[in-house]
Amino acid sequence: MLAYFIDGTYMSMESFNDRKKDSGYTALLENQEEAMSSSHQMKRFFRKLMNNNIGNKIYRKILQKLFLWRLQKVTNEIKERLNIYRLWELCRMQQAIQV
């Protein structure tokens, strides 16, 4: 389930069925196909988790931490690109001054 949240390529619960059938994905997780969860199992798990306040708070905290981690990663990538662009602009300006 953690791989599902980290990967983030599939946004529907039905993707658990597809991943359960995918032998490459199960091998990547070093798991057996029988041990993989189906979408029905995951829906039951989340339903039980959300029926009490403690599970709901924990789930929301995990989602918040994952969101902030991803936001930080994207923000760092944007800062890197801006720095490269600024450096490129500075080099271009210096070349224009020399000419």
* Mean pLDDT of all residues in 65-77: 86
CA 69, CA 49: separation in Å to the nearest integer?
A: 23
pTM: 0.41
Are 52 and 59 in contact by the 8 Å Cβ rule? The answer is no
Please determine, for residue 3, whether its predicted confidence score (pLDDT) is greater than 80: no
Picking from 70, 65, 29, 63, the residue whose alpha carbon sits closest to that of residue 49 is 63
Domain residue limits, the chain: 1-51
What mean pLDDT value characterizes the chain?
A: 78
